């Protein structure tokens, strides 16, 4: 179980690194003079966050959350289960929520709503992948690495049942893998 289970590589490690460097440059411009705190959503965003933060040429604080959303798009922050909350004081800070992939938009929508309770100066969102077709609400991220097709992706933090996160590229998981684990 590993590389062989990926039927197509969408983005190589080189492409990912290059795109993250561009995003870092943009964020360096946009957050100059601000108090940037990245709030990274574990586990999937850990790999992206580590690389992105090193491409931002500014002081950056980093905090982590573990959340899980349930319900549908018409439900709001009440449907967000928090397993690990932020520990930094976010009052007056410029919060950038970082996630691996934006899909239905339910998770990030709820996290943004919840973040406002910390009275930050600003809240924006940044995702490595955006599956636009799957959106159930109006949510749009402020920074997007790649727009991706409606396929199940693994690698670079993205998992299937906890596996494949350490693949250095992003690829489409072979559907035979689902069949095998049933
Ligand atoms: P949503 O936007 O639907 O609330 O949730 C986004 C979350 O769903 C992501 O953080 C990720 O955990 C999961 N997800 C959505 N699409 C994919 C995918 O193609 N591959 C993987 N591994 N996770 C996905
Ligand atoms: Mg996730």
* Three-state SS sequence of 89-150: CCCCCEEEEEEEEECCCHHHHHHHHHHHHHCCCEEEEEEEEECHHHCCCCCCCCEEEEECCC
Q: How far is the CA of 107 from the centre of ligand 2 (A)?
A: 8
Q: Which atom of ligand 1 is nearest to the CA of 69?
A: 4
Give the mutation target among 149, 157, 158, 173 for probing the ligand 1 site: most ligand atoms within 8 A of CB: 158
pLDDT tens for each residue of 76-121:
445 788 999 999 999 999 999 999 999 999 999 999 999 999 999 9
Q: Which two tokens stand for residue 131?
A: 């599956």
Distance 111 CA to ligand 1 centre (A): 14
pLDDT digits (tens, 9 = 90+) for 26-74: 999 999 999 999 999 999 999 999 999 999 999 999 999 999 887 555 5
Band of residue 180 on the pLDDT scale cut at 50, 70, 90: confident
For 9, other C-beta atoms within 10 Å of its C-beta total: 15
The per-residue pLDDT for 71 is 58
* CA-to-CA dists, residue 51 to 13, 26, 27, 56, angstroms: 12, 14, 13, 9
What global pTM score does this model have? 0.94
Tell which residue, 77, 63, 89, 157, has the closest CA to residue 114.
Answer: 77
pLDDT in tens, 80-90: 889 999 999 99
Query: Residue 47: enclosing H or E segment and its boundaries?
Result: helix 46-53
Least confident window among 72-81, 112-121, 131-140, 159-168: 72-81
47 Cα: distance to centroid of ligand 2 (angstroms): 12
* Known catalytic membership, residue 103: yes
61-69, strands of its sheet edge to edge: 80-84, 61-69, 36-42, 94-102, 122-130, 143-147
Q: Provide the 3-class DSSP secondary structure of residue 151.
A: coil
Closest ligand 1 atom number to CA of residue 45: 10
pLDDT score for 178 = 81
For the CA of 151, the nearest atom of ligand 1: 19
Domains of the chain plus CATH, in order, are 13-149 (3.40.50.2020)
- H/E run at residue 171: strand 170-173
Pocket (CB within 6 angstroms of ligand 1): 44, 69, 99-108, 131, 152-154, 158-160
Distance CA 53, CA 21 (A): 10
Average pLDDT, integer, range 130-144? 94
Give the active site residue among 51, 94, 100, 103: 103
Q: How confident is the model at residue 1 (pLDDT cuts 50, 70, 90)?
A: low
Mean pLDDT, residues 125-142 = 94
Residues, beta carbon < 5 Å, ion ligand 2: 44
Q: Which atom of ligand 1 is nearest to the CA of 110?
A: 4
Residue 119's pLDDT is what? 97
Region 132-143: mean pLDDT is: 93
3-state secondary structure 49-102: HHHHHCCCCCCCEEEEEEEEECCCCCCCHHHEEEEECCCCCCCCCEEEEEEEEE
CA of 86 to the centre of ligand 2 (A): 16
Measuring CA to CA, how many Å separate 82 from each of 11, 12, 39, 86, 110? 31, 33, 13, 10, 11
């Amino acid at each position: 179980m590993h590389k062989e289970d990926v039927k197509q590589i969408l983005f190589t490690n080189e492409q990912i690194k290059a795109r993250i460097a561009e995003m870092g440059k943009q964020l360096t411009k946009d957050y100059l003079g601000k108090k940037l705190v990245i709030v990274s959503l574990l586990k999937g965003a850990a790999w992206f966050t580590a690389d992105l933060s090193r491409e931002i040429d500014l002081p950056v604080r980093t905090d982590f959350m573990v959340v899980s959303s349930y319900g549908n798009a018409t439900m709001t922050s009440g449907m967000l289960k928090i397993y690990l909350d932020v520990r930094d004081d976010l009052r007056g800070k410029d919060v950038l929520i970082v996630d691996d992939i934006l899909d239905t938009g339910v998770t990030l929508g709820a996290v943004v709503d919840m973040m406002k309770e910390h009275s930050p100066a600003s809240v924006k969102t940044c995702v490595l992948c955006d599956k636009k077709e799957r959106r159930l609400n109006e949510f749009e991220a402020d920074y997007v690495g790649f727009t991706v097709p409606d396929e199940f992706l693994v690698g670079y933090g993205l998992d299937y049942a906890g596996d494949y996160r350490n693949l250095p590229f992003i690829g489409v998981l072979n559907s035979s893998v689902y069949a095998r684990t049933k």
